[in-house]
Amino acid sequence: MPFYNDYKMIDNIKTYLDEVQNFVETEKSKIEEFRIRFNGKKGILNDLFAKFKEVPNEQKKEFGQKINTLKQAVADKLEALKSAAEISEVLIKEDLTKPAYPLSLGARHPINLVKNRIIDIFKSIGFAVADGPEVEDDWHNFTALNLPEYHPARDMQDTFFIEQNPDILLRTHTSSVQIRHMENNEPPLRILSPGRVFRNEAISSRSHCIFHQIEGLYIDENVSFADLKQTIQFFTTELFGKSKIRMRPSYFPFTEPSAEVDVYWGLNSETDYRITKGTGWLEIMGCGMVDPAVLKNVNIDSDKYSGYAFGMGIERIVMLLYQMSDIRLFFENDVRMLQQFKSL
């Protein structure tokens, strides 16, 4: 009697299905035997598909479903066995009791180290940190700072313009942050504005088109130049350990009077002679009393309030502190250079 009349083959398929589901092994040779037994050329599945031709049409649906269920179960089991075998092989190769590899920790960038140190010094005397956008408009970067359109002082710096009419540009100083802060806050104000600035300069060992500035602003009643000098004296003593400074008259459009600040570095080594050009004095920042026109631009009463501002390039300070001679090192991400600052 043909098998399709007595359901013997359907029972056999159920038996095979139970065998597949209960099969557990991690050895590759045993898994290969299992694969050949079911998926080989003379395997169980090929044998069942060959006999499928003899099944009457009315029984083919049920019989086909059973074979496909078995075929899928075999495929799933082989995939699971393969994954388990790979995991087992890794566990055998790896000694899980051996010590872990030490984590190699990174280091803070020298610019961040010095920037944070400067911020901490000024925070200790009441300054707060203010932030602003790197993409600025003409008003905040130039006009409000007493540099109206066609003012000759705009020729002092080449600018990266993104759009024109109206002018949108990459900020050339962080003074724009001070303007935004004065527009949105009432005096007294005492802020620092650190950040990246951009100028269209040729890249060399002494200059770069990207650098970092930190600027300070203090607005209150009865602020004098003596207050400015005392603040800078405190800063240079805390950062450099040198309290001897001098102020040379200078010009900035947004401060009047204006000055350049030099700190007495000394002439104790050949490097000191080189970086101070034999004078012992080193320029570190610019400063001055805020021009009343700037206060008027941000709707602050210049008859009642006065203030001072100062600014410095962080890269220059870093190069002085760590005796570095090439500003390009800060932007190359050379791990050999950065690793030297791990202990700081």
Query: Rounded CA gap, 334 and 340, in Å?
Result: 11
**Which pLDDT value is given to residue 91?**
55
* Residue 192 predicted with pLDDT over 90: yes
3-state DSSP of 79-146: HHHHHHHHHHHHHHHCCCCCCCCCCCCCCCCHHHHHHHHHHHHHHCCCCEECCCCCEEEHHHHCHHHC
Q: Specify the pLDDT at position 83.
A: 75
Rounded Cα distance between 212 and 116, Å, is 12
Per-residue pLDDT tens over the stretch 249-301: 999 989 999 999 999 888 888 877 877 788 888 888 999 999 999 999 999 99
Residue 176 is predicted with a pLDDT of 93
| For residue 3, pLDDT beyond 60 | no
**Higher pLDDT among residues 158 and 92, named by residue:** 158
> pLDDT tens, 65-76?
877 887 888 888
pLDDT of the residue at 206: 77
For residue 154, the model assigns a pLDDT of: 63
pLDDT band at 85 (very low <50, low <70, confident <90, very high): low
CA 74 – CA 145 distance, rounded (Å): 78
Beta-carbon contacts of residue 318 (< 8 Å; ≥ 6 apart)? 110, 111, 113, 114, 324, 330
Domain 110-341 fold:
BirA Bifunctional Protein; domain 2 (3.30.930)
Range from 71-80, 140-149, 169-178, 186-195 carrying the lowest mean pLDDT: 71-80
Q: Break the chain into its structural domains and give their ranges.
A: 3-93, 110-341
Of the listed ranges 143-157, 164-178, 280-294, 298-312, the least confidently predicted one is 143-157
What does the alpha-carbon distance between residue 282 and residue 272 come to, in Å, rounded to a whole number? 10
